[in-house]
Amino acid sequence: MPSSSQQDRRANILTAIIVLVVVFVVGSVIYVNRSGNGSGPAPSSPETAALAECLTQKGAKMYGAYWCAHCKEQKQLFGSAFEKIDYIECSAPGNPQQQSQACKDADVSSYPTWVFADQSRKSGAIPLQELADKAGCPFGATPEVNAPGAAAAVQPSVAESAVPPASVPAPSPSY
């Protein structure tokens, strides 16, 4: 029969193992929820898909970098419809300090940067309604969509409209 101190030690070890397993499981769940589950972008609404198509048709381009958190936020606002956006990747794979020639030529200095047909710019993760208004695309509360005789508009979700404008500075060019 094990002594009382051996039983206490075994109980402490078992408790420590259980605590470590619980911490690992909770940490894994939090990580997966924050980084996405690897199943691809979230589905987008038909209205968001139409906005993505309209932005591209109207000549809007998004310049970004794969490592940029605000770019990821912008992409998440569009969900799977982001594939319809005219997107220019500014960082070379494996070398985030090197900016692509297309982004140098466009004088992109922060990410994400939206460049519109009239050459005006907006930087940061921009709410979808603001992008629609800037490009003249129907979306959410855009006047053309809510005009008499128009179909009822679907209001953008909080996630689609509540992203504060922010941008990440582009890395200094490496020569």
The structural domains of the chain, ordered by start, are 46-169 (3.40.30.10)
The answer to whether residues 102 and 89 touch, using CB atoms and an 8 Å cutoff, is no
In 10 A of CB 27, how many CB atoms?
A: 10
pLDDT digits (tens, 9 = 90+) for 30-55: 654 544 444 566 788 999 999 999 99
In 10 A of CB 55, how many CB atoms?
A: 27
C-alpha 13/C-alpha 164 separation (Å) is: 47
The encoded tokens of residue 9 equal: 């030690």
pLDDT band at 22 (very low <50, low <70, confident <90, very high): confident
pLDDT at residue number 32: 47
Task: Answer whether residue 161 shows pLDDT above 60.
Answer: no
pLDDT at residue number 119: 95
pLDDT digits (tens, 9 = 90+) for 97-156: 899 999 999 999 999 999 999 999 999 999 999 999 999 999 986 454 444 444 444 444
